[in-house]
Amino acid sequence: MTVKVAINGYGTIGKRVADAVLKQKDMELVGVTKTKPNYEAKLASGMGIKVYASLAENIKLFDAAGMRIAGSLEDLLNQADIVVDCTPGKVGATYKPLYERHRLKAIFQGGEKHEVAGFSFNAVCNYKGAIGRDFVRVVSCNTTGLCRSLYALDKAFGIKKARVVLVRRGADPAEDSKGPINSIVPDPVTIPSHHGPDVQKVLPHIDITTTALAVPETLMHVHILNVELQKDATEQDIIGAFSSYPRIRLVASADGISSTSGIIEYARDLGRIRYDLPELIIWKESIRSFGREIYLTQAVHQESIVVPEDIDAIRAMTKLTESPEESMRLTNESLGLGR
Ligand SMILES: NC(=O)c1ccc[n+]([C@@H]2O[C@H](COP(=O)([O-])OP(=O)(O)OC[C@H]3O[C@@H](n4cnc5c(N)ncnc54)[C@H](OP(=O)(O)O)[C@@H]3O)[C@@H](O)[C@H]2O)c1
């Protein structure tokens, strides 16, 4: 069986999900939408991806640019089994009535509220809960990173409580109109930031409090975790626990990977397209145990970490497989994760 996938919104996340869908043997990319005929639309079309106009009134812009498009968003939705909404935060929710009218399953991203879908997803944590669902929200990049490491720690040792400081990149690399450019911004200044409650949408039993800062950086987010476990764990125990998850990659500062820019250089040297690293990165040397109380520092490549989760959400919702392990294996192998 092959599932027909439409992507509404072909920006940072949409283009990466599109590329990942093209790599799945059990999925077919029926098309993507663009609001305007910019270079991304032209590149997609040049790669043989069918491009549709997200806004019908903008079709004339494509005509004026001499770019042939395949039709309107509605034309695209008519051909799909499922749509992955990758429009900007809060815009996705406005499309839900349209998806419902087309009787389409839909995946929303982390910029939407949990309530838009009623189910927040992370493959390793709650794949089975998404099986057969019509609406699912793949949680944000920061929440995805936290879910991966907290799930692994909880499974191995039990978590009594987690306290996390998030240092967030101010903007994605192409977003030159966003800031901050010379400031460290408590984002928000109040505690908790939305990330802790968001983790609890996926892992409701975890006692977590988060606080976040936005900084003038575009490459990655960094999280400092202080976790109280339910039983003692040594640094080696913790490294052993993380090592069994292909979507967690341990790196060593001793190898020269001592910063987010070092991680990105590593991704380039691995030959990763767009220097994407969908794996959560944890610095080995940052893992420190005081018996039950542990510390670690992790980094999240915000533009790509949610991509494998979107692919697994498609499999769960359309029942391509009801096995989380099988879905994650297929996704990881196709995207080269864990190698
Ligand atoms: N970037 C990240 O770090 C990140 C990480 C995890 C999750 N997310 C979440 O993923 C979602 C998408 O974020 P993104 O960073 O990919 O945004 P983005 O780069 O701005 O891409 C959004 C895409 O949607 C298109 N679009 C804008 N308005 C639209 C409309 N009314 N109808 C249809 N398409 C429209 C955009 O315009 P054009 O068609 O003109 O290009 C663009 O292709 C958000 O919920 C965000 O919170 C983002």
pLDDT digits (tens, 9 = 90+) for 191-236: 999 999 999 999 999 999 999 999 999 999 999 999 999 999 999 9
Q: Is the pLDDT of residue 338 over 90?
A: no
pLDDT attached to residue 321: 98
Ligand 1 site-directed mutation target among 52, 109, 138, most atoms within 8 Å of CB: 109
The C-alpha R_g of the chain, in whole angstroms, comes to: 20
- Looking from the CA of residue 95, the nearest atom of ligand 1 is 32
Q: How many CB atoms lie within 10 A of CB 292?
A: 15
d(CA 325, CA 145): 19
Q: Is the pLDDT of residue 27 over 90?
A: yes
Q: Is the CB of residue 91 below 6 angstroms from any atom belonging to ligand 1?
A: yes
d(CA 17, CA 6): 10
Mean pLDDT, rounded, for 89-102 = 98
pLDDT attached to residue 1: 87
- Looking from the CA of residue 303, the nearest atom of ligand 1 is 3
Domains of the chain: 3-139+306-335 (3.40.50.720), 141-300 (3.30.360.10)
Mean pLDDT, rounded, for 59-66 = 93
Q: Is the pLDDT of residue 326 over 80?
A: yes
| Average pLDDT value over all residues in the chain | 97
Tell me: the pLDDT tens digits for 139-170? 999 999 999 999 999 999 999 999 999 999 99
Strand (E) or helix (H) holding 70? none
| Catalytically annotated residues | 141
Q: pTM of the prediction? A: 0.98
Q: Is the pLDDT of residue 339 over 80?
A: no
Given a contact cutoff of 8 angstroms between Cβ atoms, the answer to whether 141 and 200 are in contact is no
End-to-end Cα distance, the chain: 28
> What angle is formed at CA 320 by the lines to CA 142 and CA 9, rounded to 5 degrees?
45
